[in-house]
Structure 1
Amino acid sequence: MKKENKKQSSEQLSSFGGVGGGFLVVLGGGESGVGTALLGKAKGYNVFVSDKGKIKEKYKQVLIHNAIEWEDEKHSESEILKADIVMKSPGIPDKAPLVKQIRKHKIPVISEIEFASKFTKATIVGITGSNGKTTTATLTQHILKQQLNVGLAGNIGDSFAKQVLEDDFKNYVLEISSFQLDDIIDFKPKIAVITNITPDHLDRYDYQFENYIASKFRIAINQTKDDYLIYDADDKAIANHLKNNPVQSTLLPFSLTKTIENGAYLDQQNIIITIDNNQIIMPTTKLALEGKHNIKNAMAASTVAHLLKIRKQTIRESLENFQGVEHRLEQVLKINKVQYINDSKATNVNATYYALESMDAPTVWIVGGTDKGNNYEELFQFVNEKVKAIICLGVDNEKLMRTFGNMVDNIIETQFMSEAVKIAYKIAEAGDNVLLSPACASFDLFENYEDRGRQFKNAVRNL
């Protein structure tokens, strides 16, 4: 958002301080939309929810029960353009004709994160990144909740707005996507985390990686020197952006390769975290989560915990007993000495890179879905070393077949999860892994990555 827009929008948002009283239009009747509608109504707004698709029955019932006006399978433009403020679901792109119309009418468009943050005085930890943000957010909350009153929201679980209304935790850990950050104005987390930045969702950013990087850095745009930015110092995209676009925040980098004075680094098998000369040491040998990427996730989460004065012993114990996230390198079952692993949340190449890197046995790899302009080159080394067969699961597998066809003896395509798992069962031998790590979005064959992961787990259990 350009600076002049920000000024104009902030003026129009001045009613936010307490009870609203304006006309709030919510575009999208999903988790964040319905949460915003409930909070908006409680704060005195006249609320209208509009969804171009079909609103799920459970959300319809909530809207009806709370006497909130709604429509689905259409947008009544004349009604929407009367809004004082519009909360847009993160799934709706800025390029949508209706959003362009709303902006043309100089009506502020904000995200749920922006709206809900106006109604809480909680300490906010905001976590973004291309990969690892769900694991890092869940792990951070897992550590903090041992000593603090803390909610987990954003891109995960119950909506932030709903939690502000019903629970009003003293602290929040928010997993925040670039789409949510695109529509903030004043939102400012006390602690921001950027796990990493690799090309993703470029179709939403005019296929310009720089635009996507800038979007991620919006998490720190309103921070001051009293706030903190924790980030991966090994990530070239982050390091370059920071060099050319300095932020106001106090910087706390983490690294696997460099020695960090203020922040976190790896010294042999220990994570060393130093903040204002106060140091803690965490052995990595007992981490519940495996893989180099999870050492980084642990560094980020532990740095947050250290900042918020969580006891060292509590941090150590929490890192050791954390169970991990569903659909992220989730070990499903071992059948005939073959381990089946659900990594459905790997919706881009970089996430699959981490999955393949962590494989320690010959692997039958299930890949495919809606390609977001993927470049698979960084996977070649692992495919050559570790992958014995590839099962392409998607409507259009032509690019995958062409890219990997000469690398493995066995490459098969299917459009059914049950068939993909049966094929994998036939190919895999004792000691092998069967890995679902799609590197693609799920929308060609599935409702979302959760649906894809659940179908995989069900198919494995039905073998």
Structure 2
Amino acid sequence: MKRLVVLGGGESGVGTAILAQKQGYDVFVSDYGKITDRYKEVLNSYAISWEDEQHTEALILNADVVMKSPGIPDKAPIVKKLLEKEVQVISEIEFAYPFTNATTIGITGSNGKTTTTLLTYHLLKQAGLNVGLAGNIGKSFAWQVAEENFDYYVLELSSFQLDGIVNYKPHIAVLTNISPDHLDRYNYNYDNYIDSKFRITMNQTEEDYFIFDADDQASQNWFSKNKIKANQLSFSITKTIKNGAFLNNNTMEFKINNEEFVLDAAEIALEGKHNYKNAMAAVSVADLLKVRKQTIRESMSNFQGAEHRLEKVLKIQGVQYINDSKATNVNAAFFALDSMTTPTIWIVGGVDKGNDYTELMELVHEKVKAIICLGIDNKKIIDTFGNVVDIMVEVDNMKDAVHTAKHLAEKGDTVLLAPACASFDLFQNYEDRGTQFKQAVKNL
């Protein structure tokens, strides 16, 4: 009997444990933090042994294979010991993949991947396909493989999940874009992070498809040095594309497998140029899977965007409050600021991942009237923008941030939460940060 040890007792860990047990593995779950009561109950109901607030080496180092949750870095002491012993350490996606015959669509990228994933899932579901949603969002992929019987899965994949794949291969892979993010996990080496993203296509063959942003510089650089086997489709909002999708004035034109198809950009439920790209990527997937054009048109106009992603919360006394808590890096904050059309009070800050804020300089100069720093260490933000805006305030909780913003805002202004940073200094995660923002706005 093969022994699987699962590191991390969250959604992906518990899902993997359930699937492994069903497949006849001897399973043990170990979490260095606390496992929530809900997950403890699930593990107990399946009679899966677990521990939390510790890693007992005698129960871990004897594993045949280890599934590591994406939040645990390779430099964690227990992971180092496993690698020294040459125990295979993989991700949930890699573990679950051999146990399903479903076709998978894998979507990665520094920004836009959640919106693109939700949009692709929406398009396929509306078309009547038997499709599951998993990866970084929704219920764990492994858990669904254990209990559901989908023909297709749309998977949102982080670079951490891709680091742990060996044989996993999506039939259709989408890389939305690449910008510096999580560099703390890649020895502050941008090339390592880029290579990590491209792992999504490493096992693809000539029968598979790879969809990418033709405007993205990092992708272009990678392609100048590397070759892939999959059929390439790209999308662009600046140039004409022979095979893929592009923007022609306000029309999206698709040329895929010698078929042409147009979509009026005004018919799309999402605002902002970057969302045109997300839409092009999702529609390209639907088109490859032979979804009817009429269904695509209808689905694009009735799509509800992702929560915490340029989400309009409320308009109070002529001031619009927008929650973009999911803007956890500079590039995402760039998109958010770029889509502002009124004077903006910008709430920014959190755990810096090696950010370079200078690329936001022009936008801040043009659009931002005041900055509210919401983080434990705001030195870098203050140093960068101190001379650019007239008003800069430091706060250490969401309630104060929102009250300060209300005090500074005038009719016609926008208050934007787009932190450009991770949330772990003051919040559990970006969802918690966004939810607290929305609650504070509703309490004004």
Determine if the TM-score, normalized by the shorter chain, exceeds 0.5: yes
Distance 1:78 1:101 in 2: 12
Q: What is the distance in 1 between the residues matched to 2:354 and 2:243?
A: 37
3-state secondary structure, aligned to 1:285: helix
Aligned amino acid, residue 430 of structure 1:
K
- 1-structure distance, mates of 2:164, 2:80: 14
CA distance in 2, matches of 1:317, 1:350: 30
Task: Give the structure 2 partner of residue 297 of structure 1.
Answer: 278
CA RMSD of aligned residues (A): 0.7
From 303, 307, 311, give the equivalent of 1:330. Answer: 311
Say which is worse superposed, 240-249 or 342-351, in terms of deviation: 240-249
Matching residue within 223, 239, 244 for 1:258: 239
Structure 2: distance between partners of 1:385 and 1:342: 20
Letter in 1 for 2:361: F
CA displacement 1:145-178 (0-9 Å, x = unmatched) = 0121111100001100011111121000000000
Q: 1:93-152 CA deviation, whole Å, 9 max, x = no partner?
A: 111121111112121111000011111010100000000000000000000101211111
Partner letter of residue 364 of structure 2? V
Residue in structure 1 matching 2:201, options 198, 205, 220? 220
1:242 CA drift (Å): 1.3
CA distance in 2, matches of 1:441, 1:157: 20
- The list of structure 1 runs, each at least 4 consecutive aligned residues, that deviate by more than 2 angstroms after superposition, is none
1:340 and 2:317 correspond? no
Give the one of 301, 305, 316 matched to 1:320. Answer: 301
Q: Distance in 2 between matches of 1:276 and 1:299?
A: 15
Equivalent positions of 1:20-59 (< 5 A) are 21-59=1-39
Q: Does 1:192 align with 2:173?
A: yes
**What corresponds to 2:118 in structure 1?**
138
Secondary structure at the residue paired with 1:400? helix
Find the partner of 1:402 among 364, 369, 383.
383
- 1:310-356 deviation line (CA, Å, top 9, x unaligned): 01111111111111000000000110111100000000000000000
**Structure 2, unaligned stretches of length 5 or more?**
none
SS in 1 for 2:110: coil
Give 1:119's aligned residue. Answer: 99
Distance 1:158 1:145 in 2: 16
Amino acid at match of 1:248: K
Query: Alpha-carbon deviation of 1:185?
Result: 0.4
Q: Per-residue deviation at 1:403?
A: 1.0
Identity score, percent? 65
1:390 paired to 2:368: no
Partner of 2:141: 160
- Letter of the 2:233 partner, please give it: L
Distance in 2 separating the partners of 1:396 and 1:207: 20
Distance 1:266 1:159 in 2: 35
| Residue 419 of structure 2: aligned partner | 438
Partner of 2:226: 245
Distance 1:141 1:438 in 2: 27
State the partner residue of 1:421: 402
Q: Tell me the secondary structure at the aligned position of residue 267 of structure 2.
A: coil
For the residues of structure 2 that align with 1:142 and 1:430, how far apart are their CA atoms? 36
Question: 1:189-247 CA deviation, whole Å, 9 max, x = no partner?
Answer: 00000000000111111111000000000000000010000000100100110121111
Distance 1:168 1:443 in 2: 36
Partner of 1:411: 392
Residues 18-97 of structure 1 aligned to structure 2 (within 5 Å)? 21-97=1-77
Q: Distance between the aligned counterparts of 1:301 and 1:213, measured in 2? A: 22
Match for 1:269: what amino acid?
Answer: N
